[in-house]
């Protein structure tokens, strides 16, 4: 489609080996054009030559695409089409990453290029996004083709955001009749962090419920016919191995000690409703509105340094149900669950950065409140709603001390500090970059503070008593998903503690 002097591609058909010679787009190619459908032509269809790299608006790099809602599996094909534009610098990068950039492919090519990546692994690649950068411009967005075969025994649901204490997760399903069950005669429910299926190296299983059935346990009169049965509910968690930046293991990882209960669903071939209430450090699990829920405490692990760390219940990002179960309906899709679900409203000291409005150059964060503690801590977080040494990353932490009048800054991932803190124009105190501040911090008094984001070289800028300070971090500001402020409470004059301004 052409509008004035600009071309817009409604559909593109690529000649065989089109990337070998761009000039072939200027040559006469014999082809039949068939257009049909429910329309009336109002002008003659014209066919002409197009220099594709000049007349179509390309996609500038770096280009990033989120793959969280795409089910990458064996047989998936990802196709990139573009061209390199610098004759002297002929290399470019395509990165498939999970959580942080990990897999990098560098290719050297001059002119037009087409690259196809085939996913040929038995297990699913846990890629969460793809990036194309450096000396290349894409002609169109990468095309991802996933095989049509769908495993109907697996049901996945991605939460829109992390859920805090007090939230209720709920869904309903149907346990298959005994004659339609697999040999395992079971199904399981998994709550994952940083993964959408189980993997020993990626992600954590915050909670796993495995329901096993024994169809022969009851006769036609539903009388117990066996003294011993494999019918049970097993609950456990899996925390993957943790390493320092020096590749030293400080927690070996593995399954926590499981807890076994009688299977509360009891029979096969029945509908059920399952509700999970998130407590402070525990899950309350109810099946079919049971009066007495099963309480499962979030597990505490011990590192090699004898530090005890607890898995936060809010860490769940994905729910996966698989096995001998069908007709799964999550949340508001279920009529039975609608009346039980509680909205996930964060406390005023936590704010979720909208997925379609990430922090960028020029974004402004406004913080107002009443001082209640000796330290005010402002945290910009990724995959976490509060500080935790097992889960998430703190892209930028800025603390103000009331008594010693110090501003303290740092960045860390899962409690591990980067090898070199970038303390430009600042001194260093313990694990923090620091400088003196002149803020009048008095308990129960008003606190007002602004932070400005500068994307150039990953810099955060903030103003204290008329003087600008900056902190250079190592992760992009667009990765910030949550902002958490500690040490403040709501001031009577304002209805917020954290406010986002100038989002683009």
- At 121 the pLDDT is 44
Angle, CA 315 vertex, CA 392 and CA 451 arms, to 5°: 45
Residues 137 and 167 in one domain: no
DSSP SS3 for 432: strand
Of all residues in the chain, what percent carry a pLDDT higher than 90? 30
Domain assignment of residue 437, given as a range = 350-501
CA distance 209 to 320: 11
Residues 106 and 61 in one domain: yes
Residue 474 domain flag? yes
Region 36-43 average pLDDT: 70
Confidence bin at 304 (pLDDT 50/70/90): confident
- Predicted confidence (pLDDT) at residue 249 exceeds the cutoff of 70: yes
Q: What is the mean pLDDT of the chain?
A: 78
pTM > 0.85: no
Closest CA to 152 of 334, 329, 322, 333: 322
Residues 273 and 299 in one domain: yes
Beta carbons within 10 angstroms of residue 296's beta carbon: 20
Pairing of strands 459-464, 446-454: antiparallel
The residues, ordered by sequence, that sit 6+ positions from 462 with a Cβ below 8 Å of its Cβ are 398, 449, 450, 451, 452, 468, 469, 470
Strands (E), 2-73: 2-3, 6-7, 63-66
Domain boundary among 145, 170, 191: 145
Could you report the per-residue pLDDT of 173-215, keeping only the tens digit for each? 999 999 999 999 999 999 999 888 888 888 899 999 999 998 8
- Predicted confidence (pLDDT) at residue 416 exceeds the cutoff of 70: no
CA distance 78 to 132: 12
The domain that holds 192 is classified in CATH as 2.60.120.200
DSSP SS3 for 54: helix
Residues 472 and 423 in one domain: yes
Residues 447 and 374 in one domain: yes
Residue 448 domain flag? yes
- Predicted confidence (pLDDT) at residue 294 exceeds the cutoff of 80: yes
* Side-chain half-sphere CA neighbours of 431 within 13 A: 11
């Amino acid at each position: 489609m052409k509008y004035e002097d600009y071309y817009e591609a409604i559909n593109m058909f690529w000649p065989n080996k089109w990337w070998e010679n761009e000039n072939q787009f200027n040559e006469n190619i014999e082809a039949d054009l068939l257009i049909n459908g429910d329309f009336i032509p109002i002008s003659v269809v014209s066919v002409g030559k197009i220099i594709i790299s000049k007349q179509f608006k390309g996609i500038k790099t770096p280009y990033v695409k989120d793959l969280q809602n795409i089910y990458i599996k064996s047989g998936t094909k990802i196709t990139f089409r573009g061209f390199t534009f610098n004759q002297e610098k002929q290399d470019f990068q395509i990165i498939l990453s999970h959580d942080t950039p990990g897999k990098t492919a560098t290719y050297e090519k001059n002119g037009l290029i087409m690259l196809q990546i085939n996913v040929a692994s038995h297990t699913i690649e846990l890629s969460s996004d793809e990036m194309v950068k450096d000396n290349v411009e894409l002609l169109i967005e990468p095309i991802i083709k996933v095989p049509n075969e769908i495993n109907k025994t697996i049901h996945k649901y991605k939460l829109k955001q992390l859920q805090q204490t007090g939230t209720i997760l709920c869904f309903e399903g149907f346990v298959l009749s005994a004659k339609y069950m697999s040999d395992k005669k079971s199904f399981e429910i998994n709550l994952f962090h940083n993964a959408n299926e189980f993997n020993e190296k990626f992600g954590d299983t915050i909670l796993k419920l495995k329901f096993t059935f024994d169809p022969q346990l009851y006769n036609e009169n539903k009388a117990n016919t066996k003294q011993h049965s494999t019918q049970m509910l097993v609950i456990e968690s899996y925390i993957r191995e943790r390493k320092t930046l020096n590749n030293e293991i400080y927690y070996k990882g593995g399954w926590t000690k499981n807890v076994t209960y009688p299977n509360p669903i009891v029979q096969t071939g029945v509908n059920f409703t399952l509700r999970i209430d998130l407590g402070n450090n525990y899950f309350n699990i109810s099946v079919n509105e049971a009066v007495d829920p099963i309480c499962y405490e979030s597990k505490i692990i011990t590192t090699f340094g004898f530090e005890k760390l607890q898995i936060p219940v809010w860490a769940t990002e994905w729910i996966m149900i698989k096995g001998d179960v069908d007709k799964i309906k999550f949340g508001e899709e279920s009529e039975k669950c609608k009346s039980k679900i509680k909205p996930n409203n964060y406390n005023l000291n936590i704010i979720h950065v909208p997925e379609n409005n990430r922090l960028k150059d020029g974004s402004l964060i406004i913080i107002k409140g009443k001082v209640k503690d000796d330290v005010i801590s402002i945290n910009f977080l990724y995959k976490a709603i509060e500080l935790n040494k097992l889960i998430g990353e703190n892209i930028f932490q800025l603390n103000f001390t009331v008594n010693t009048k110090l501003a303290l800054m740092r960045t860390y991932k899962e409690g591990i500090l980067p090898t070199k803190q970038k303390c430009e124009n600042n001194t260093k105190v313990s694990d923090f970059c620091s400088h003196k501040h002149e803020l009048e911090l008095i308990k129960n008094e008003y606190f007002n503070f602004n932070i400005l984001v500068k994307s150039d070289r990953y810099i955060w800028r903030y103003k204290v008593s008329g003087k600008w300070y900056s902190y250079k971090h190592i992760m992009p500001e667009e990765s910030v998903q949550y902002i958490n402020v500690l040490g403040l409470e709501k001031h009577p004059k304002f209805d917020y503690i954290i406010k986002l301004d100038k989002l683009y």
